[in-house]
Amino acid sequence: MQLCDGNDRDSSLQFLKHVLLSIRKRYTDSMPELPEVEVTRRGVAPHLEGRTVSAVTLRHQGLRWPFPPELSQRLCGYPIRSTGRRGKYLLIHFDHGTLIIHLGMSGHLRVLPISIPPNKHDHFDLVLDTHLLRLHDPRRFGAVLWHGEEDGHIDQHLLLRGLGVEPLDAAFSADLLYRQTRNRSAAIKQVLLAGDIVVGVGNIYASESLFKARINPKTPARRISLARYEKLEIAIRETLEAAIRQGGSTLRDFVAVDGQSGYFQQHYFVYDRSGEPCRICSAKVRQIKQGQRSTFYCVNCQK
């Protein structure tokens, strides 16, 4: 790109601003939430479970935190028993401990033949017999951590012990939301994002679920009745399940050598639709900030 003077310079600056905004928007949009992590787990699980680790390749000191010391010695020769997920943490279980992977803001996991050379930002490979699990993470906000059996149950890991219930488990209920919010004067959107009552309802799905339940995201959590929490519980389950179902069509991308690993595009009711007509009443969707995060809602439909 050439930077010129006069009008050309203005238009160049405009162009630069546009590029920067679109990059920021892409990062925001592509940040994996619970459905993306669950779809990733389902995509890679059949290629991991029952296979034995033959090597570990680290191409960086670490991501958000340093890689665990001697990870190769800890894993080589051990078979993977199963995979799981807690919130946005992907769990790879061995007999002697669990490998915890977090995708951060920009991480993607792929299963590839071992002959495929790494690209830039491919920081971690878990090598199995004929293929490998490769973590690509340009922003390095992700994590690869080890929790040994000697450190107790995986739920006791520092990052997992304070997490609320899983929104798709039977333990999640309207009653739980109601009981645990009687003293919470914070806005319901903030309470959902806090993750201590229910985990994995991130920024996108909190906005979408509150829209479906017709609850204004600014409403203090303790003011919401049990009947309205019943609507919210159903909305959260339906929203997350629909996103996982939609992501199911991308499962093959996790093993395609040339597959685009971008997260699935979705049809949102309010999220990222500021100023556009509400899909129910046609009023303009409003965007506000709550705790540094954008919230989208319809003043007409959500009371």
Q: Which residues bind Zn ion (CB under 5 A)?
A: 278, 280-281, 283, 298, 300-301
DSSP 27: H
Token pair, residue 90, equals: 């992907």
Residue 88 designated active-site: yes
Q: Which of 41, 86, 88, 134 is catalytic?
A: 88
| DSSP annotation string for 69-124 | TTHHHHHTTPBP-EEEEETTEEEEEETTEEEEEE-TTT-EEEEEETTSPP-TTEEE
Least Å from the CB of residue 281 to Zn ion:
3
For Zn ion, the closer of residues 102 and 212 by Cβ is 212
Structural contact between residues 86 and 155, judged by C-beta atoms closer than 8 angstroms = yes
State how far the Cα of 106 lies from the Cα of 124, in Å rounded to an integer: 14
Least Å from the CB of residue 283 to Zn ion:
5
Least Å from the CB of residue 216 to Zn ion:
11
For Zn ion, the closer of residues 239 and 250 by Cβ is 239
Least Å from the CB of residue 127 to Zn ion:
51
The CA distances from residue 110 to 41, 81, 116, 169, in Å, are 10, 19, 11, 27
Least Å from the CB of residue 278 to Zn ion:
3
Residue recorded with tokens 């034995």:
52
**Category of 64 on φ-ψ map: left (φ > 0), alpha (ψ -120 to 50) or beta:** alpha
| DSSP annotation string for 246-279 | HHGGGGGGGT-TT---PPPP---SSTT-TTSBPT
Residue 25 designated active-site: no
Least Å from the CB of residue 20 to Zn ion:
32
Residue 276 designated active-site: no
Nearest Cα to Cα of residue 137 among 82, 240, 65: 65
Residue 245 designated active-site: no
| Cβ within 8 Å of residue 54, ≥6 positions away | 76, 77, 127, 128, 129
Q: Which of 33, 36, 38, 233 is catalytic?
A: 33
For Zn ion, the closer of residues 250 and 302 by Cβ is 302
For Zn ion, the closer of residues 45 and 298 by Cβ is 298
For Zn ion, the closer of residues 120 and 303 by Cβ is 303
Query: Positive or negative, the Cα torsion across 157, 159, 164, 170?
Result: negative
For Zn ion, the closer of residues 172 and 269 by Cβ is 269
Active site residues: 32-33, 88, 293
